[in-house]
């Protein structure tokens, strides 16, 4: 949790924050901003953003693999545009 708190303090620009967890047994603590810790963490965060987050935003690789709908005609990717697809009328009620 320390990394998240340090990151939020760096973004907001505060020197300290009270961190409170609301549970049946509440816990709280005061964190002081640690510039040395943040300077060590920032290059890793930039690298992670560039290599993973930005890559996914541009390519949508994970989205396409996990969340894109599975279409029955997906197996016919080798069909050319000029050739009629025989499966186009499968779901039509006549």
The answer to whether residue 92 scores a pLDDT higher than 60 is no
Task: Please report whether residue 45 resides in a domain.
Answer: yes
Q: Is residue 90 over pLDDT 70?
A: no
**What residues make up the domain containing 51?**
2-68
Q: Return the higher-pLDDT residue of 76 and 6.
A: 6
Residue 22 lies in a domain: yes
Q: Is residue 28 part of a domain?
A: yes
In a domain, 80, yes or no: no
User: What are the tens digits of pLDDT across the range 12-65?
Assistant: 999 999 988 888 888 888 999 999 999 999 999 899 888 888 888 887 776 666
Residue 1: HSE in the Cβ half-sphere, 13 Å Cα cutoff: 10
**Does 74 reside within a domain?**
no
Task: Over range 69-94, report the average pLDDT.
Answer: 47
The rounded radius of gyration (Å) of the Cα atoms in the chain is: 25
Answer whether residue 91 is part of any domain: no
Please give the Cα distance from 54 to 60 (Å, whole number): 10
User: For residue 6, is it within any domain?
Assistant: yes
Q: Is residue 83 part of a domain?
A: no
Tell which residue, 33, 3, 2, 34, has the closest CA to residue 16.
33
Q: Indicate whether this model's pTM tops 0.95.
A: no
Q: Which burial class, exposed, middle or buried, applies to 33 when counting CB atoms under 10 A from its CB (0-12, 13-18, 19+)?
A: middle
Number of domains comprising the chain: 1
């Amino acid at each position: 949790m320390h990394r998240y708190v340090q990151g939020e303090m760096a973004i907001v620009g505060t020197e300290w924050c009270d961190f409170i967890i609301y549970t049946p047994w509440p816990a709280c603590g005061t964190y002081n901003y640690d510039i040395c810790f943040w300077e060590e963490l920032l290059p890793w965060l930039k690298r992670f953003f560039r290599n993973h987050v930005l890559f996914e935003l541009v390519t949508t690789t994970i989205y396409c693999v996990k969340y894109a709908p599975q279409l029955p005609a997906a197996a016919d990717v080798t069909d050319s545009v000029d050739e009629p697809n025989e499966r186009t009328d499968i779901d039509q009620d006549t």
